[in-house]
Amino acid sequence: MMRLPRISMCVTVLFLIPEILSSQDVCNYVHPPEPPKASDFIQPPADGKLKFVGPMIRQVQVACWHAEPNDSTKCIGGVHGFQRVQSFLPTDVMVRSESVNTDYRQGSTSWFSAGGAKSEIKSEDLPPGIFFSFKGHPIFKVVKVQFPTKAHDSPFAFSGELKTGASVEIDFSHEPSNGECYLYVAVWVAVK
């Protein structure tokens, strides 16, 4: 009879520890590293048979947790769970549409996710004529890519001339304890 209270007391203590820890969120946001250079990304094939122009590199705007300036224990600015973000990369500034080599199709999507997330995009889902590469921390997965597509380019997102380019949709997650928070996409266009 005496053992039963001991066991329930140990179980009670074990359940209280996570409660105490989770109520004290620590904002471990670290400012992102310097923007990546083209050489920091996984590169398109360089077998001498294919030619690529680019890359066009864009930082994808994501909501990151950071500490309140007056209270380092209060985390602000982020989104719990996944946030769906989009980026448009104009390719018509690199190459004309008729010069795109539509015989090329990217063969691997292994870098279309990181941090334990898994992209469901397969190489056969990718549009021809373009190579995508990503750098991000901590967790992301690419959910949709389009090329060619037409859109307004930032900062003139809803006005001005429509541009031709590539569009990506990405699920991104950053929690208060994750540290660095950044997401970049690079595209190269295969040319004839």
Q: Which tokens hold the place of 67?
A: 């500490």
Angstrom CA distances, 65 to 85, 105, 116, 138, stand at 16, 37, 19, 12
Residue 18 vs residue 187, higher pLDDT: 187
Give a yes or no: residue 94 inside a domain: yes
Residue 139 placed within a domain = yes
With 50 as the cut, is the pLDDT of residue 53 above it?
A: yes
pTM above 0.85, yes or no: no
Instruction: Tell whether 9 is covered by a domain.
Output: no
E strands in the chain: 51-59, 66-68, 71-76, 82-90, 113-114, 130-137, 139-151, 163-173, 182-191
Whether 123 and 109 have beta carbons less than 8 Å apart is answered as yes
Whether the bond between 148 and the residue before it is cis, its omega within 30 degrees of 0, is: yes
Inside any domain, residue 20: no
Q: Note the pLDDT of residue 4.
A: 35
Domain count, the chain: 1
Burial environment of residue 183 by CB neighbours within 10 A (0 to 12, 13 to 18, 19 or more): buried
- Does 108 reside within a domain? yes
Q: For residue 42, tell me if it sits in a domain.
A: yes
In the chain the first and final C-alpha atoms are separated, in Å, by 82
Give a yes or no: residue 10 inside a domain. Answer: no
Q: What's the pLDDT tens digit per position in 79-114?
A: 899 999 999 999 999 999 999 999 999 999 999 999
- The boundaries of the domain holding residue 86 are 27-191
Q: Look at residue 41 and tell me if it is in a domain.
A: yes
Residue with tokens 């003139």: 156
Question: Residue 27: pLDDT band by 50, 70, 90 thresholds?
Answer: confident
The predicted structure's pLDDT at residue 9: 30
Is residue 155 predicted with pLDDT exceeding 60?
no
Q: Categorize the per-residue pLDDT at 132 as very low, low, confident or very high, splitting at 50, 70 and 90.
A: very high
